[in-house]
Each structure stands twice: as structure tokens, then as C-alpha cells.
Structure 1
């Protein structure tokens, strides 16, 4: 017991030192712990000229759930959510090309192009059928995939997804129409704090040193993200004509206080889907799987249980 106590003291001391001297080292340690708790390992695949990084875990013979992150994000968004599914499902969370650790070629990142890249990734991994879940831009991609490849999709879950003209315009698009800067792109330290408050109702707590580290990473990618966001708008693919092509049961899950994409989008989407379920989470923002991962996972598992493949 005494040895264990001293080991814990050393671990805490090391973590404190890492936070002071190298926030990046601490982040790596936290990610390692989170991956372990989620039962995921870090993998990579060569898909054409692209190197795709992804997390993978769960039984290889289980049904596959592919998790697709949103704009400016990466596969880490799913870690605390994914831990609820790896005991039963084969779980994959990828870094989309242009994000995270995956390749960032000087190429197009519109939703249609990214959908075909996801298809090539799925084919490279030899997956025939799968459950798709996506958040924000990732939901837009997941929905377009389900419309283009309906025979492969067992179920579809869309968390605060893009791609729909909402009856009530969101605060994000109101700001953009006024000519204000994009609150999803971080250009200085203050922007990162504002981003957290914009995306979440209750932002995840972060030490100041980690906030600074994440802000610096986001600032370094600001020009890249500006380019991608411009492409998403210039080469926009509306989902309204695509949704009737989706044959899989579809979950529409939204935070009722989403300032990025308004919850009224559900009123447009639900009548266009063949089989839909709706969950609106009270006092929740744009990324429910981060803000309230356990509750979001329960809603998703209930949906999967209600729609066995």
C-alpha cells in the first residue's frame, strides 16, 4: 500500500510538472488514459494519397459504429462518448482529412468530397455495413453518405448536424451575415475562450495552461480553417433533397441552446426522413457528446436498441 501511495504521489507530481513545463505532454498523457478507458487504440491507414488517423476498439466481429467529428475538431471529441459502446460494438472514430493528425493536402474539403473520402476509408478497412454518427459538419457528411450509400448504412445518428436551412437562423449565421468574424475560427487567445462559451452551455473545465495550448494550436490552423469554411459555404450541398433517399432509421439529437446550428432544423428534417426519432437535450449546446457524454450515449443506445439491424 505504501508503494502504491508513493507511486501516486510521483504520478501527480509528474503531471503537475508536465502541466507547467509541457502542456502537450500532459495532453498526450490524458489522451492515453482516455483511450484506455474507452478501450480504443490509435491507428492509421493509407487511403490513396491520404494518411488517415483513427481510433479503433471493441470486438472485431461486432457491428461497426463510425463516428465523424465536426468542423475544427478531431477524433478526440468522441473519447468519453465512445467508452459506452466498445464493450459491444466495433467502434471507429476518424480524423477527417484536413483535421487532427490526418493528411492536410492543398485540396477541396467540401462536404461532397469528404463524403467520398469517408467511403474510400470504409472500403480500405473492409467494412460492409455500419452505423454512422456525426456531429455538426460530420453529421452533414454522415447524412450525405447515408443518402448515397443506403445499402451500407444500418442506422444514422445526426447530432446538431449542418446541411439544413433552419426556420430560425442560428446566431452563427446571423453574425456572419452582419460581416462579423467567424466565432468558430480562433485567431487569438480571447477567441478560444469565446469559442468555448459559444459552442457549450457548460464548457468542459480546463486549466489555464491547457487553454493556452489549445488556443495556440487553433491559432496556428486559423488560415487553414478559414479556407475550409469558405469551401463549405461556396460548395454547399443542401440535405433537403438528399434526406428522402436515406433508408436507415435516423436519430436527430440536438442541444436546445445550440448557437451554431439552430434546433429548428429538426422541423425541416423530420418530415423528409422515412423513419426518424427525435431527442432534444435541455440546456445543452452544439456538441452533446462532449458536454454531456453519458446522457448522449444513453439516448444513442436507446435508439440502437429500438432499431436492431
Structure 2
């Protein structure tokens, strides 16, 4: 019995000491496995300032290339379960935006929206792509909208999922926190991360606690980097005066329960972009492609097949 107690104590001690590290291993391995299962290859593309790490898959179809842009503090992996529905008949490109994921962060590297958008033009040039179907979530939606307004010849269609870039008629939970001087993305503890995670999605997919602990640790380690990126992109020119310059067929999608960017912003996008189509998703939060990847993929494919003319 004494030996059993010692073994149990050692196991508890090992688990406690390796908990976040083990979570990192599980998380990274599961993401790599999913990418492999969905036939998405990791490819580093050399642009002017950096090597931009991407997932890429699908046939080389010039008129069916989709560029998927993640939001602030996220990375390319959030698109995996959505992207798998398009790799058979579309070329799919999913970058880690500058300062995020495996592309990495450089202090003073420039993370405002115009600079991020120009990096996407460089990425398209390196990939040999003329026109692209753009889909972006949150900050990625802001970048996508900026691209569509400033480089209309490069955008075949635009889809915005809970996009940043416009003032909100009604304050979100995050908006009230920012007004009070607190940014929920700047995580100091596991408790802070749990609060942030609860704000990002209304019905998140199941994730083991050990993996959530690892992600929380990464947020804490990147706190200063995220602060610089947030300040840069948050100070960018709003899209308000540029919406009428977006000529591509546009789909605006918003989760009714979004706590980061209030659903009242959706109508501003739809009203400002000529001919835009608006879809409000009930029971969904800030990340429709993560919360309901199959349903969101079906909606997006229907939009691609019958775009507004």
C-alpha cells in the first residue's frame, strides 16, 4: 500500500510540474494531425519582411482561390475544420498573420491594418494569384475589407465574419471593458484566460482542460507582444468612409451572441457596402467558423456559387 501511495504521489507531482508543457504537446500534435487529415500542407512563403507561415491545399484553380484571415491573437489553425470543406475543389491559403502563430513577432514590426493588408498583397504575388475570394474573422475581417476597398482588382468576393473595423452602435462586453481601461486579451492569469475564452464563443468546441491551461500560458507569455499588436490595429483608420469603395460581392455574417463585437455593427457593414448580403446566426458568438464549421461552410459555399452581381 505504501508503494502505491508513493507512485500516486509521484504521478501527481509529475502531472503538476508538466501540466502546461504536456498541454502544449497535446495541442500542437492535435493541430498537426488535423492539418494532415485535411490535406493542408504547412508552407513558408517569403515576403518582403519575413517568412509567412501558411497552410495551403487544393487544386491550382485561379478562379477558385480562397484566402482565410484569422483574428487578433488567433492563428491559422482556427480555420482547419472550416477549410476542410473546400480543399477538394478550391485552392485554400491560410496564413499566420504577422505577429501571430508561427510567423512570429517583431517589436516595432508594424501591425496596423493598411500594413497588414499590403502584406497580403505580397503573399498573393508570391503565390502567383491575381484575384482571390477573401474571408476574414474579426481583425482578419478588417484586413479583408481594407483589401477589398483599396485593391478591388484583387478581390473576387468578400466575406466578413464578425469583423472589426467599424464603431458599434451598441457596446459589447469587450467594449465596456476597454472603456473601463481593461483589455481582456491581455491575460495575467489562468482566470483571466477563462474569462476571455468564455467571451470568444457562445458554443465552443470541447477542449481538454490541460490544453486550455497551455493556451492560457501562451497568452500570458505573449502579453507584451499582443499589447503592441492590439494598439497598432486598434488605432487604424475605421472603414466607415471606405465601405462604398468595396465593389466585390459581399457576405456579412455575425453571431447574435457575440460578446467581443456587438451584433449591431453588422447592419452598418451591410448598409455601407453596395449590395451586401447580411446573415445573423442565432446562438453563435464571435467565431462562427469554429463554433459551427459545417453550417458556416455550407453558407459560404452557397454564397460562392451564387454571388451577388
The normalised TM-score by structure 2 is: 0.90
Show the counterpart of 1:220: 221
Show the counterpart of 1:137: 139
TM-superposed CA distance for 1:232, in Å, is 2.1
TM-superposed CA distance for 1:231, in Å, is 1.8
Show the counterpart of 2:153: 151
Show the counterpart of 1:52: 52
Work out the CA distance in 2 between the residues paired with 1:248 and 1:206. Answer: 37
Work out the CA distance in 2 between the residues paired with 1:199 and 1:256. Answer: 12
Show the counterpart of 2:23: 23
Show the counterpart of 1:209: 210
Runs (5+) with no aligned partner, structure 2:
1-17
Secondary structure, aligned partner of 1:56: strand
Query: CA 1:244–1:186 in 2, change beyond 3 Å: closer, same or farther?
Result: same
TM-superposed CA distance for 1:244, in Å, is 0.7
Q: Deviations over 1:169-208 (max 9, x none)?
A: 22211111122x2112222111121111111112222212
Q: Is 2:298 aligned against 1:298?
A: yes
Show the counterpart of 1:65: 66
Conserved? CA contact 1:65–1:133, under 8 Å: yes
Q: Deviations over 1:249-281 (max 9, x none)?
A: 000000001011111112212222122111111
Work out the CA distance in 1 between the residues paired with 2:48 and 2:101. Answer: 18
Show the counterpart of 1:191: 192
Show the counterpart of 1:244: 244
Conserved? CA contact 2:23–2:212, under 8 Å: no
Work out the CA distance in 1 between the residues paired with 2:166 and 2:90. Answer: 30
TM-superposed CA distance for 1:19, in Å, is 8.3
The alignment covers a number of residue pairs equal to 290
Q: Deviations over 1:218-238 (max 9, x none)?
A: 1110111011112223x3211
Conserved? CA contact 1:56–1:93, under 8 Å: yes
Show the counterpart of 1:34: 34
Work out the CA distance in 2 between the residues paired with 1:19 and 1:277. Answer: 46
Work out the CA distance in 1 between the residues paired with 2:215 and 2:21. Answer: 15
Q: Is 2:126 aligned against 1:105?
A: no
> Pick from 127, 130, 139: which aligns with 2:129?
127
Work out the CA distance in 2 between the residues paired with 1:162 and 1:40. Answer: 27
Work out the CA distance in 1 between the residues paired with 2:76 and 2:35. Answer: 11
Secondary structure, aligned partner of 1:52: strand
Query: CA 1:19–1:226 in 2, change beyond 3 Å: closer, same or farther?
Result: closer
Query: CA 1:237–1:20 in 2, change beyond 3 Å: closer, same or farther?
Result: closer
Query: CA 1:198–1:266 in 2, change beyond 3 Å: closer, same or farther?
Result: same
Deviates more, 1:98-107 or 1:22-31: 22-31
Q: Is 2:36 aligned against 1:43?
A: no
Secondary structure, aligned partner of 1:124: helix
Q: Is 2:90 aligned against 1:89?
A: yes
Work out the CA distance in 2 between the residues paired with 1:248 and 1:169. Answer: 29
